[in-house]
Amino acid sequence: MSPTYDVIVIGLGGMGSAAAHHLSARGARVLGLEKFGPVHNRGSSHGGSRITRQSYFEDSAYVPLLLRAYELYDDLERATGRDIATLCGGVMLGLPDSRTVAGSLSSAREWDLPHEMLDAKEIRRRFPTLAPKDDEVALYERRAGFLRPENTVAAHLQLATQQGADLHFDEPMSRWEPYRDGVRVHTAENTYTAGQLVFCPGAWAPQLLADLRVPLSIERQVMYWFQPKRGTDPVLPAHHPVYIWENRAGVHVYGFPAIDGPDGGAKVAFFHKGEVTTPETIDRTVHEDEIRAMADHLSGCVPDLPGTLLKGVTCMFSNTADEHFVIARHPAHPESVTVACGFSGHGFKFVPVVGEILADLALTGATRHPIGLFDPARLIDTVLPH
């Protein structure tokens, strides 16, 4: 049996890599186990970019965590020299009473976040690539922008390794059980013991955390990169913000500038419009009818974009019934197991602060951060919406 660790982290994607970093930074002896290789593209922490923002329409309770995440992203860039966050500005668009607009405005006002409200005419003037209808408005947030997920994961893995963490790739956990005052974890290669276990399983949560009794739906998502019709200059970050756009039917599309220059195209995606899947059965082919549906949608709101499709890539959302996270000590194993799952397609911007929270919970059993919204008790044995 291998040496005893203080903490074993299962999954080294976004949340797990951050947890391994924060735990090892505090002097904990950390083992990280990952099913695939480092910075892989089989789960949810890939695709070149993720939106970050502070005027959070999902719930204003997220804002303190976002403010801390921004600080930690700055720390991560300084510590590793990697390109992590670019604040090119962002707009939340829709009708004035839409969740996207009204919720963003409510959070901005509650937390006194800098923002501007723009009518359709002003949106078109500032951002000529966007074509809102006359009755649509936007909340503009200067400190919104995009994160680079692969660089973020690589940076956290780099720091964790430098701090002494043992990170094992291509070594999935097969099972675990309580053992003495901690846990014992089995893989095909070895058996490990530790005082604490931290689960960051992403789309594999339904299998690995079945005893949590929190229903999770794994949703296939498609990301598209289009070459603009008029060339790339209009959608470079200097001219084109990140955006989340809710139409009258409640359909969300979100997008980015051409963050990698003229040949990279501009990335767009629908939000929560995919079919239920599993990590083992997901269809990773992007089909022609999907491409047409996205191009048709864009033609009415970002008419420069439905030009040539450069590529399409799939990923997965792990959705809870209310689309809020699960971050807590495991109710059935509160002395030794911490869980983080169900990030419902909007979790990546929280990666560094979730890592900090998981380190708190694993090492002390509590955290100063407000995580009451993420208590799994609210979801136990609930029924997922169809």
How confident is the model over 241-245, as a mean pLDDT? 97
Residue 85 labelled as part of a binding site:
no
Does 79 belong to an annotated binding site? no
Residue 349 forms part of a structural domain:
yes
Q: Is residue 38 a part of any domain in this protein?
A: yes
Report phi then psi at 162, rounded to 5: -60, -30
**Residue range 208-214: mean pLDDT, rounded:** 94
Contacts of 12 (CB under 8 A, 6+ apart): 20, 32, 33, 34, 38, 153, 157, 167, 169, 200
- Kindly state whether residue 62 falls inside one of the protein's structural domains: no
Q: 293 lies in which domain range?
A: 86-146+217-319
pLDDT-derived band at 236, boundaries 50, 70, 90: confident
**How many Cβ atoms are within 10 Å of 99's Cβ, its own excluded?**
16
358 annotated binding-site participant: no
Instruction: Tell me: do 131 and 154 sit in the same domain.
Output: no
Please tell me whether residues 128 and 223 are part of one structural domain. yes
CATH number at residue 116: 3.30.9.10
Asked if residue 275 and residue 223 are part of one domain, the reply reads: yes
Give the pLDDT score at 379: 94
166 is in an annotated binding site: no
311 carries a ligand binding annotation: no
Q: Does the annotation flag 235 for ligand binding? A: no
**Can you say whether the dihedral through the CA atoms of 135, 271, 243, 313 is positive or negative?**
negative
The confidence score (pLDDT) of residue 381 equals: 78
Residues 366 and 229 in one domain: no
Of 274, 290, 319, the one marking the end of a domain is 319
Model-level pTM? 0.96
Q: What is the mean pLDDT of residues 234-250?
A: 91
Task: Judge whether 117 is annotated as a binding position.
Answer: no
Q: Is residue 51 part of a domain?
A: no
Find out whether 216 is annotated in a ligand binding site.
Answer: no
Decide if 185 is inside a domain. yes
Query: Is 145 assigned a ligand-binding role in the annotation?
Result: no
Q: Given a cut of 80, is residue 44 above it in pLDDT? A: yes
Query: Which one of 301, 319, 337 terminates a domain?
Result: 319
Residue 249 domain-assigned?
yes
Q: What is the pLDDT of residue 380?
A: 87
Give the Cα separation of 226 and 36 in Å (integer): 29
Tell me the average pLDDT across 21-34.
98
Beta 337-341 vs 326-329: how paired, if at all? antiparallel
Residue range 213-230: mean pLDDT, rounded: 92
C-alpha span between 234 and 247 (Å, rounded): 23
15 has binding-site annotation: yes
Q: So what's the pLDDT on residue 304?
A: 84
Domain identity same for 332 and 202: yes
In percent, how much of the chain has pLDDT > 70? Answer: 97
Average pLDDT of span 365-376: 97
Known binding residue 84? Answer is no
Q: Is 9 annotated as belonging to a binding site?
A: yes
Q: Do 287 and 247 lie in a common domain?
A: yes
pLDDT at 231: 62
Average pLDDT, the chain: 95
Query: According to the annotation, is 369 in a ligand binding site?
Result: no
Q: What is the pLDDT of residue 383?
A: 73
CATH code where residue 23 lies: 3.50.50.60
Domain boundary among 319, 340, 357: 319
Confirm or deny that 60 is annotated as ligand binding: no
The answer to whether the annotation marks 185 as part of a ligand binding site is: no
Mean pLDDT, range 67-82, rounded to an integer: 98
24 in a labelled binding site? yes
Q: In the chain, how many domains are there?
A: 2
Q: Quick one: pLDDT band at residue 273, thresholds 50, 70, 90?
A: confident
| pLDDT reported for residue 386 | 55
- In tens, the pLDDT along 85-96 reads 999 999 999 999
